[in-house]
Structure formats: C-alpha cells, structure tokens
C-alpha cells in the first residue's frame, strides 16, 4: 500500500520536458506548402507532441480511453436526474460496446478500458472489466467526508498504475473518461475550490436537472462545502472531503501521463476536474495536456481557463465517458499527418513569400 510519502516522491520525480522540439518542428512546418502559421493550433499540437515524445517526428499509433466508473454518496441528496442504478448498468453497456464512447472509439480506432473504482454493485465474472473497487461508492459529503485520506491516496495510485501499464503496452495517447451518477456534484465542489469561484458559477444541470432541481443542487453544495473541513492548499484534503474515486483516479492518471510522458486529452467536466486536481499536485501535468471540447456543463470553462486550455471543439456535448476526448484524437492525428505528408515549397516547386 502506497503512502503519502510515496506520492510526494513520485510527484517530485516528474521531470520537465528534456528538450523543446518546437523550433526544429516549426522550421519544418514553415517549409510546407501553406501560408506561414496557417495550420493554427494544429502546428502547436505537433510541437507539443514532439516535445513530450522527445522527437521531431511525433506519432500517435495506439490510443486508449479509460472510463473510470464509480458511485457517489451525494447522489442520495437528489442532485441527479438519473438513479444511481444507472452507473452499474452503463458499465455493462460499455463492456458490451453499446455506449457513445464505444461507437466513437470504434470509429477512431481507440481502445476502451473500463475501470470500476467504486461502483455500488457486485460485478461477478465480468470479462474485460478492470476491477479496482475502493468501496461501493463514496460517502455523502453533505454528512461526512466523501472518503478517507487513505482511499483518496488509493484512487490516485490506481490512475498512476494504469498509465504505467499503458506505457508498457506502448500506448501513445490517453484519454480519461468517466461514468458515475452524481459525479458533476463533487466536480463542481472541486472546481469551486481550486478555481476559487462561487458554487453558482460552476454548477450546472448535469444530466438534465430542471431549474428548480439545479437550485436544490446548489443549496446542497453550499451546505456541504460549509460543513467540510478542507485545506485548500492540500489537494488530498480536497479530494477526500468532497471528491469522487474517479476524480482521484483521473488526477493520478494525469500525474502518470506527466511522469511517463504520454499525451493526455482532457474530456469534459469530470475528466477535466480530475486533471486540474492533478495539476495541484504537480504543475508539470500541464506539459502533457491537450484540450478537446467545451462541455455544456457550466464549470468546465472555468477549469479550462485554470489549465490555460482552449477548447478546439464546440459541440455543446455533455455526456462524459471520454467522448469529446476521442473526437479530438483525430485532430491530433491530422496535425501529425499534415506535418509528415505535405509537400515542401521546394519539392512542389511553389514560390515562397515575396
């Protein structure tokens, strides 16, 4: 069992990028048959990918999304439009290939891994499910801390360990997705704390609350945040007081990506909450993150600002699972494709600027 000391050591051992490959990559980009800089953010992506992968020719051959699933004690406060039973049912749906993330992952050749970090259901003899159940859901953080400090630590190390394994399996791009009825509520709590924004500004309708129900959710969140004893400077305190197991696992996942130098695409509100929490442990997480979409969920834009990420997709989506992240993978691939396969001014016999 890992200790807080182990986490501290791990975080401190994350190295900064060895070399900045931006210059050498930009040089090649500027020789391709297009106006200077006209591929916009796609040019930035190639440079960032190259710097992470320590090469002037980055590539993304093997891509994988991990859907972290768990239940939330706070769901008993009527903060979601769906019953908690849906969490386990959706896990089975993921494993049968029927969910949105499965359809998109097939389209874009992305592997889907499903991780039970705390679903309130006994999965028995279920193939392909990665079993890392910490408990059968968190506690209701209106009444008590969502989890123990030990559980928070455990969730983080689950994320780190999965990245280690992915690295060994030569995965070159990772997306953390989420499933868990009630999980926008802890995400709003954490967003409010780390972005220093009032609850109202970071709390949305989740899977489809009415205006009335949203008001109730905000009241619950405010009360809960008043009751909990949170040390804002200590991300483990934030996580254990109000967090979810999947948020902790995603924070660890982000730390793992920073350590093992794997490009990480942020998905929606819960995914980005976990990654943002990861940056509270180590700002070096920022060196490996790529943006995807702007979620319908209200708090997401604050998190993106906190992470200094600009969304590249505006689709008004709001279902998590990693769906927005998977849609963005193909744009990273386009960036690499263009960089590798366009003709240069010289090879094409095209005149340069006057």
> Residues interacting with a second copy, by CB under 8 A?
32-42, 81-83, 85-86, 89-90, 92-93, 96, 98-100, 103-104, 106-107, 206-208, 296, 310-319, 327, 330-331, 333-334, 337-338, 341-343, 347-354
The residues that bridge with 177 in the sheet, in sequence order, are 67
- Which CB, 159 or 318, lies closer to a second copy? 318
Task: Based on the residue annotation, tell me whether 321 is a catalytic residue of this protein.
Answer: yes
Q: How far is CA 138 from the centre of its chain?
A: 20
Q: How far is the CB of 60 from a second copy (least distance, A)?
A: 13
- Which CB, 32 or 199, lies closer to a second copy? 32
Catalytic residue (one of 321, 333, 346, 354): 321
Q: At a CB cut-off of 8 Å and minimum separation 6, what does 34 contact?
A: 342
- Which CB, 12 or 354, lies closer to a second copy? 354
- Which CB, 57 or 150, lies closer to a second copy? 57
Distance CA 202, CA 214 (A): 12
- Phi (first) and psi of residue 199, to 5 degrees: -50, -40
Q: Single out the residue of 160, 162, 200, 186 nearest to residue 64, CA to CA.
A: 162
Q: How far is the CB of 198 from a second copy (least distance, A)?
A: 25
Q: How far is the CB of 316 from a second copy (least distance, A)?
A: 3
Q: How far is CA 188 from the centre of its chain?
A: 15
Written as one string, the DSSP assignment of 141-187 is TTTS-SS-HHHHHHHHHHHHHHHHHHHHTT--EEEEEEE-TTTHHHH
- Phi (first) and psi of residue 45, to 5 degrees: -65, -45
Q: How far is the CB of 174 from a second copy (least distance, A)?
A: 20
Residue with tokens 């051959």: 61
Q: Which two tokens stand for residue 218?
A: 């905000």
- Which CB, 172 or 333, lies closer to a second copy? 333
As a 3-state breakdown, the chain gives helix, strand, coil percent values, each rounded to 5, of 50, 10, 40
Q: Which two tokens stand for residue 4?
A: 């807080």
Q: How far is the CB of 232 from a second copy (least distance, A)?
A: 31
Residue positions annotated with a catalytic role: 321
């Amino acid at each position: 069992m890992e200790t807080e000391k182990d986490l501290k050591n791990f975080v401190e051992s994350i190295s900064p990028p060895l070399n900045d490959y931006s210059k050498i990559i930009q040089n090649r980009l500027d020789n391709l048959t297009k106006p200077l800089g006209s591929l916009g953010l796609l040019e930035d992506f190639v440079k960032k990918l190259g710097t992470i992968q320590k090469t002037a020719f980055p590539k993304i051959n093997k891509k994988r999304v991990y859907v972290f699933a768990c239940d939330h004690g706070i769901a008993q406060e009527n903060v979601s439009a769906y019953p908690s039973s849906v969490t386990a049912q959706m896990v089975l749906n993921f494993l049968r290939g029927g969910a949105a993330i499965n359809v998109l992952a097939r389209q874009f050749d992305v592997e889907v891994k499903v991780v039970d970090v705390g679903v309130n259901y006994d999965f028995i003899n279920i193939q392909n499910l990665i079993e890392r159940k910490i408990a059968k859901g968190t506690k209701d953080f209106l009444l008590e801390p969502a989890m123990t400090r030990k559980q928070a630590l455990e969730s983080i190390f689950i994320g780190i360990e999965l990245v280690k394994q992915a690295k060994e399996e030569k995965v070159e791009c990772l997306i953390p997705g989420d499933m868990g009825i009630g999980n926008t509520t802890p995400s709003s709590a954490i967003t409010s704390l780390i972005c220093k924004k009032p609850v109202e500004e970071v709390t949305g309708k989740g899977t489809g609350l009415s205006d009335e129900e949203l008001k109730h959710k905000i009241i619950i969140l405010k009360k809960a945040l008043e009751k909990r004893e949170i040390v804002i400077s200590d991300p483990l305190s934030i996580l254990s007081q109000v967090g979810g197991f999947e948020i902790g696992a995603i924070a660890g996942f982000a730390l793992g990506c920073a350590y093992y130098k794997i490009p990480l695409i942020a998905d929606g509100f819960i995914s980005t909450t976990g990654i943002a929490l990861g940056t509270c442990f180590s700002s070096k997480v920022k060196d490996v993150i790529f943006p995807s979409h702007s979620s319908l969920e209200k708090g997401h834009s604050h998190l993106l600002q906190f992470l200094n990420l600009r969304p590249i997709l505006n689709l008004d989506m709001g279902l998590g699972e990693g769906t927005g992240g998977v849609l963005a993978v193909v744009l990273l691939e386009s960036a690499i494709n263009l960089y590798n396969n366009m003709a240069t001014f010289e090879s094409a016999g095209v005149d340069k600027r006057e």
